[in-house]
Structure 1
Amino acid sequence: MADVLTFGIEEEFLVVDDRGRPAHAAAAVLDSADDSGAGELQQELTKAQAETATGICVTHDEAVEQLQTMRTSLARAADRHGLRILACASSPVSAGELPAITATPRYQRMAAHFGATARTTLTCGCHVHVAVPDPETGTRVLGHVRPWLPALLAVTANSAIADGRDTEYCSWRHQEWARWPSAGPPPRFASHADYEGVVDAWLRAGAILDRGMVYWDVRLSEQQPTIEFRVADVAATAEEATLLGVLCRALVATVLDAGEPPHLSNEVLRGRLWRASREGVTGHCSDPGTGDLLPAVEVLKRLTEFCAPALGSAGDTEFVSEGLARLARDGGGADRQRRVFANRESALDVVDRFAVPAGAARPAPA
């Protein structure tokens, strides 16, 4: 395992009250959470969100354990305040009011500068960091992984029910997040200097206030020597988040030493991402090579075949095979949200199903 790339996973969650509405109490929950020793608990843009970040992981078992431990720690802390932690990428129940912005200078400045874009954003993503040796290599890797972004979005699409209705999208979060000027797929860069030129131009235009606001679906991390996949919804379960994580890791490992990235325009890629956000893992997705629409599970099968040596070297082959089989059988988070919602058209039922348990038990797919 010495040559296996390391990775880490960040998850964003909603803090909700007993009626499923976002509650402006994330700080209190974070302050009272037990120190799990598994990673870090962090504040987010709004007071109704909490974030977890694993430490550096080598195996999928490490990642699952850390994610599950931190989820449970947050859920127990929330329960002590009469609240719950929700693993949904958009709020199933209408917030009823604008989300309050976390009172840090950076977040307050963002709210003042970006107005309603910041003040109405209440979405939760899952971010995967994969180690790369240097920024130039990382920039080249970005170009190679771009065509696979729709398939990665489909894996965790988990925001079908939002504001009390079926949005008719599997990842409504992806649609909402697109309002930020720096969001969406990155272009194909000629070099790391090309990458830096775009970031500098955004800073000078005021389209971002700092480098942390580069919100591309995959980017170079500002804090770690990694590339960071940001395309995905927060996953319904820790196992599904880890499935995303090891797929991202295998993809990076597979293309790490590849030559020139393929040519794929951002206009075409945006269209493919739209389709993935619409249909999720049980719908159709564009084949990265041909652009033909195929069942998303078939595109994911092609991804595992493309990355088979890397998955094998990391000991992830069986974990990925079983995870994708469960998604094909049970549907993704969005499909399970819809099944729960369809029973009574109750968004609160979705909250009840997707709230993180405060005990050790893990919810079964609906």
Structure 2
Amino acid sequence: MEPLTFGVEEEFFLVDGRTGRCTTGASDVLRTAPTCEVEYAAEITEFQVESVSPVCRTADELATRLDQGRRGLAVAARRAGQTLLASGVPIHEPSLPYALTETRRYRRIAHELGGVMESLLTCGCHVHIGMPDLDHAVAVSDQLRAFLPGLLALSANSPFFRGRDSGYASWRSILWRQVPSGGPPPVFGSTAEYQAEVRGLLTSGAALDRGMVYWMIRPSSHLPTIEIRVADVMPTVEEAVLFALVVRGLAATALARVDAGLPAPAAGDSMLRLALWRAARDGVDGMGLDPVSGRLLPASLLIDRLIAWARPGLVAMGDEVLVSRLLAASRRRGSAAARQRAAFGRRGAASDVVELLAAHVASRLDPVPPGTASE
């Protein structure tokens, strides 16, 4: 199998470095960010920005582009007297009224969603994987649904909200449960059924356009790609690269299974939502619910099983060794949520969490060694 192309979008907050409170000025930051191969984009508010990698083929290339994007935004933010933060939710609640990015579409989204708009004041990591065509993308979505809880647990990076511990590893995913066009995708079974589900969202008004189809797995209707949208933005480049490689490995395995006519893992809608709630609560540090068997297991074991299912794809992509190394390094460091809580625990100060996240957003803790992706 030829390596599947992939790209990553990362969303970030702009905050006051002293207080950790969201600050407006995204337009200025985006305008002054250094030019490079990475694209920068606005989000729904003036305190969120996005970095969009180009299409990549190797882990080395992706790591370089993510690093460029983070550093470019961090430099521009610093020049504007602000700090770039990689957290799934704002540590402190933004001031009302929210400073919206001035576009007609964003104003309409805010009007239609009403109070649910709060769910969009979050930052995620979206991984796009190249697919042969829409038919394959839809079939791969069905194959991957059961692994959404494991992917959420692996990425969980939003325990603090409104200045205190939410009790969840990923509060972002809890907020997103309110969004009518979000959540895990249904089982499609065919491209025709996928199109029918999209039409239903549009007809109901839950989605104003196809860009508002916010499923955790989203086949593209205009590009030969599939987008995995379940993850919190992660604190470091290494964790983002690990996540993207795992997603590509899962997609490659799923693609081979589709071509071989193998059935998708059977995860019912109710059990999948429960498993996603459990993943949001515990992340990788507690228990996880297997949405196929319905069994409660150590979350670390569910991650190991996810990696085992992805292994054929990881091998085919040349990423097995690197993923093993990055996962081991991640476990030695501790999860993102645990690191945030440890920082808070030293003095009971949310400012220490902000300082930790700001220090790591554009740093390379464990650089991806050149050439390791093909070992």
TM-score range, shorter chain: over 0.9
Does residue 280 in structure 1 map to residue 306 in structure 2? no
**Contact 2:127 2:228 survives alignment (8 Å):** yes
**Contact 1:90 1:173 survives alignment (8 Å):** yes
Q: Deviations over 1:242-261 (max 9, x none)?
A: 11111111111101132332
Q: 1:82 to 1:276 in 2, by over 3 A?
A: same
Matches of 1:361 and 1:148, distance apart in 2: 29
Match of 2:45 in 1: 46
Match of 2:34 in 1: 34
Match of 2:23 in 1: 23
SS in 2 for 1:267: helix
Match of 1:68 in 2: 67
Question: Which of 297, 300, 318 is matched with 1:297 structurally?
Answer: 300
Q: 1:330 to 1:357 in 2, by over 3 A?
A: closer
Match of 1:145 in 2: 144
Unaligned 5+ residue runs, structure 2? 367-375
C-alpha deviation, 1:342, in angstroms:
1.0
Q: 1:292 to 1:327 in 2, by over 3 A?
A: farther
Q: Report the AA paired with residue 21 of structure 2.
A: R
Unaligned 5+ residue runs, structure 1? none
**Contact 2:275 2:291 survives alignment (8 Å):** no
Alignment of 1:188-227 (within 5 A): 188-227=187-226
Alignment root-mean-square deviation, CA: 1.7
Displacement over 4 Å in runs of 4+: none
C-alpha deviation, 1:119, in angstroms:
5.2
Q: Deviations over 1:26-77 (max 9, x none)?
A: 111111100022x210001111100011111111111111001110010000
Q: Report the AA paired with residue 203 of structure 1.
A: L
SS in 2 for 1:111: helix
Alignment of 1:250-265 (within 5 A): 250-258=249-257, 259=261, 260-265=263-268
Matches of 1:331 and 1:112, distance apart in 2: 40
**Contact 1:156 1:236 survives alignment (8 Å):** no
Identical positions, percent: 44
**Contact 1:98 1:119 survives alignment (8 Å):** no
TM value normalised by structure 1 = 0.94
SS in 1 for 2:230: strand
C-alpha deviation, 1:327, in angstroms:
2.7
**Contact 2:13 2:123 survives alignment (8 Å):** yes
Match of 2:135 in 1: 136
Q: Report the AA paired with residue 57 of structure 1.
A: C
**Contact 2:16 2:82 survives alignment (8 Å):** yes
Q: Deviations over 1:144-175 (max 9, x none)?
A: 10000000001110000111000000000000
Matches of 2:53 and 2:240, distance apart in 1: 12
C-alpha deviation, 1:122, in angstroms:
1.3
C-alpha deviation, 1:363, in angstroms:
5.7
SS in 1 for 2:256: coil
Q: Report the AA paired with residue 144 of structure 2.
A: V
SS in 1 for 2:14: strand
Alignment of 1:112-123 (within 5 A): 112-118=111-117, 121-123=120-122
Match of 2:170 in 1: 171
Matches of 1:107 and 1:222, distance apart in 2: 21
**Contact 1:143 1:189 survives alignment (8 Å):** yes
Q: Out of 108-117 and 208-217, give the one that drifted further.
A: 108-117
**Contact 2:159 2:167 survives alignment (8 Å):** yes
Match of 1:266 in 2: 269
Q: Out of 302-311 and 84-93, give the one that drifted further.
A: 302-311
Q: 1:61 to 1:347 in 2, by over 3 A?
A: same
Does residue 246 in structure 1 map to residue 245 in structure 2? yes
C-alpha deviation, 1:120, in angstroms:
6.1
